[in-house]
Amino acid sequence: MSLIKIINFPTIGDERGSLIAMEAKDQIPFNIKRVYFIFDTQKNVSRGFHAHKDHQQVAVCVSGKCRMTLDDGKKSEEVWLDSPNKGIFIDKHIWREMHDFSDDCVLLVLANENYSESDYIRSYDQFLKITNQ
């Protein structure tokens, strides 16, 4: 089974432009409690390098692109987020890394919980211990 769970958001548009709606419990598989976005990432800088104990997220590049690596402790998979109508669901206990940000990248993240430092697993070795129990 693939770690990459793509969410294709319907695009509505006409001669005026395009619109994408993201609704909790419809396209987003949880109630949204937190929204944040990453932008102006410097060249050759990667982000992420953590997993969550309980939080779930959906990530989508609303502008530009970046390469996401997801890892469950047994296998690792990569996907390019390169369109505002393509997102990925990131479940709890999935290590994530974001690489190769384009200059215009804006990575939007929707989360099912508010920020809590205690929910983060920031050491890959600790992550492996938790996921391989």
The residues that are catalytic are 50
Q: Which two tokens stand for residue 7?
A: 């969410």
Question: Distance between CA atoms of 64 and 59, rounded to whole angstroms?
Answer: 13
DSSP 119: G
Q: Give the DSSP H/E element, type plus range, for residue 86.
A: strand 86-90
Q: DSSP per residue over 42-85, as a string? A: PTT--EEEEEESS--EEEEEEES-EEEEEE-SS-EEEEEE-STT
DSSP 117: G
Residue 83 one-letter amino acid: S
